[in-house]
Amino acid sequence: MSPQVPPARPERSRRASLPAPFEQSRNPEPQPDRGPQNAACIIGPLALIAEITHRCPLHCVYCSNPLEMKSRAAELSTAQWITVFEQAAKLGTMQVDLTGGEPLARIDLTELIAAARAAKLYTNLITSGIGLTQERLNALAHAGLDHIQLSFQDSAAAPADEFAGANAHEKKLSIAAAIAKHRIGFTLNFVVHRGNLARLDEMIALAENLGAQRVEIAHVQYYGWAAENRSALLPTRAQLDRSLEIIQAAEARLRGRLRVEYVVPDYYARYPKACMGGWGRKLMLIDPSGEALPCHAARTIPNLHFENVTKHSLEWIWQESESFQKFRGENWMQEPCRTCDRRTLDFGGCRCQALMLAGDAAATDPVCSLSPKHELVTSILYRVNESPEIDTGSSQMATLVRPSWIYRPNPS
């Protein structure tokens, strides 16, 4: 019999993980959250996801950036970002995740990290490593950078470069060796999917060999560019079951040396993930132009207006704006969520996924087995499990169908 897929972790996305200092463990059954559900009682965001640019030298086929990205000309200035960090710290925010795009594309990154540290925020850089020289790394460390999450597309160069749409793998290997020599927290990130799960063992070995303290292996989440490539990226049930065996063996073997985190694909879970830890409850995302969003894909929700940090204070946006209140708490819920015992665990799942799959952002997330629209997900999985394996250029994969990727372009 196949092992059960555990419930998804209580937050989403390779670009928004919270490695420290207040990280939740990823896969155990979530416990009831007895915290305030009422908008009037919500304290400031625990972490700020600062998408400081959408520019990026890579073109990953599963990028979570929106299909309409912000141009360089629209980006906030250094001074505006610093004001955002200072306001966040006053609101009680503990951590800033500097992400993109590729945050190294901002020439003022060192200044931004120094300012975030001066505001007493824990600083986490989420990067491809492309553009990170030894000198720049030294400067970031000197500015007080606490943690780096370095992303890899695969353990092998050819498929990694295919998924990234660029020759990047070898450069990442050399910068990883340099990072490991610094006193900075170091996580290796892998995004896994149908095309690379066959090399899961090798990915874990790579993290071990490169001296990381933690490896985060997260299945693709189907938003942005990943949604465009979903049929080529969704794994089969057999792949998922095998991956769980590999992860369990690796966790046992590496305990105390390398922390292994695994984020399962929620399409296969019985209940949905608590996306972003609940809408407007823990996280705030600021896009490159200063728009404040409750999640990465919120802009896909029609008739929702998002405020800009250049026009309103962070405090007002968090506490008063329509967009952050829209799906906060429980009043917006429909049945079966409205009367379900799990509503304080997963908050009805992901609003953007409900919109994408069921056409209604207030519906129960269709990945939930209790959703009246769950058939939408099971039919997708049926097609995936009936379709042939894909070829990613590795001799370890069955060579049957070669995907036609839709690559993320670079904004102007």
Site residues (CB under 6 A) for ligand SF4?
271-272, 336-337, 340, 342-343, 346, 348-349, 364-365, 368, 370
User: Helices in 168-326 by DSSP H: which ranges?
Assistant: 169-180, 200-209, 224-228, 230-233, 237-254, 314-320, 322-325
Helix residue ranges, H only, 76-119: 78-91, 109-118
Residue 144 touches which of ligand FES, ligand SF4, none (Cβ within 5-8 Å per kind): none
For residue 357, the minimal CB distance to ligand SF4 (Å) is: 13
Q: Residue 84 or 295: which CB sits closer to ligand FES?
A: 295
Of 7 and 131, the one with the shorter C-beta distance to ligand FES is 7
How far apart are CB 294 and ligand SF4 at their closest, in Å?
17
- Spatial distance between the Cα atoms of 145 and 68, rounded to a whole number of angstroms: 30
Torsion of CA 288, 289, 290, 291, to 10 degrees: -100
Nearer to ligand FES, 194 or 351 (CB): 351
Specify whether the CB–CB gap between 12 and 273 falls below 8 A: yes
When CB distances are held under 5 to 8 angstroms depending on the partner's kind, the choice from ligand FES, ligand SF4, none that residue 148 binds is none
Measured from the CB atom, the residue of 122 and 223 that comes closer to ligand FES is: 223
Which residue, 153 or 353, is less far from ligand FES as judged by CB? 353
Residues β-bridged to residue 47: 95, 283
Q: Which residues bind ligand FES (CB under 6 A)?
A: 12, 223, 275-276, 279, 295-298, 350-353
For residue 115, give Cα distances in angstroms to 60, 74, 107, 275. 30, 21, 14, 29
CB of 343 to ligand SF4, least distance (A): 4
* 8 A C-beta contact, residue 29 and residue 186: no
CB 327 → ligand SF4: shortest distance, Å? 12
CA-to-CA distance for 105 and 100, rounded, in angstroms?
A: 9
- Specify whether the CB–CB gap between 70 and 411 falls below 8 A: yes
> In this complex, which beta carbon is closest to ligand FES, that of residue 165 or of residue 288?
288
Pick one of ligand FES, ligand SF4, none as the site partner of residue 314 (Cβ within 5 to 8 A by kind). Answer: none
Binder of residue 337, out of ligand SF4, ligand FES, none (CB less than 5 to 8 A by kind) = ligand SF4
